[in-house]
A and B are shown apart, each in its own frame.
Chain A
């Protein structure tokens, strides 16, 4: 079953990050036979890293082996589109997160909406590949979304 890849992991590869690049690429190679995909949120977030050239980004995603649903007619096969049910799940998760953060006295940090969009879709797939496990686990109940951390091989399936 396909894994949703978080933006940070693809940035590790795109930037050939000195600290995380090889670990993230190795993790993606490990998961490749099961299928890799990104949401439109990640596709949009990656625009500045590819000079705003969607064809260049698509060529990169092809080389990594990541499916996406970004541009009409550009993808065949499995693509993680946003569904109506996702809105209901994200609505509840965002409310719970903001409530918890406000009552935490500052111990729970703000989370970006991008994390919410990515995690909401990932709950319908095998899980999410990210180095920011806390971001996902802070938005949805523990165990709702499986997290694979490229820097923690013991989390790899």
Chain B
């Protein structure tokens, strides 16, 4: 069941406070970048990780995504034969 809390108030400048228990749950600290995603009438707040392209090589394994094709084969499949001449 999702965790909930007493309501927060939006100020005239659009600001609101992230409750302490949410900050602790998401390990948010001052200066942390977060991303807002609005979907189905709800807003989600997601911490933005420190960018690291090399660490992203493990993203698929960490998230259970299939990775058996080569990227060139994958792209050729996406673009249907339109990659004629691609190296």
Contact = CB atoms under 8 A, between A and B. Distances in A.
Interface string B17-55: 000000000000000000111100000001011011111
Secondary structure class of chain A's binding surface, majority of residues: helix
A27 B48 CA distance: 21
- Interface extent on A, as a size class? 35 or more
A26 B76 CA distance: 23
B1 interface: no
Contacts of A155: none
B10 interface: no
B54 A26 contact: yes
Interface of B: 35-38, 46, 48-49, 51-61, 63, 65, 67, 69-72, 74-75, 78-79, 82-87
Interface stretch (A66-74, A79-87, A92-100, A119-127): A66-74
Contacts, number: 115
A16 B78 contact: no
8 contacts: A13-B56, A15-B60, A16-B61, A32-B53, A62-B35, A62-B48, A63-B59, A112-B82
Which 4 A-B residue pairings sit nearest by Cβ, starting from the closest?
A: A65-B51, A109-B85, A112-B82, A28-B53
B86 A25 contact: no
Interface of A: 7-8, 11-22, 24-26, 28-29, 32, 45, 48-51, 55-56, 58-60, 62-65, 71-75, 109-114, 131-132, 134-135
Given A48-B78, A58-B37, A72-B38, A132 B86 contact: yes
A153 to B, nearest CB: 15
A84 to B, nearest CB: 26
A62 B59 CA distance: 11
Contacts of A74: 35-38
B37 A11 contact: no
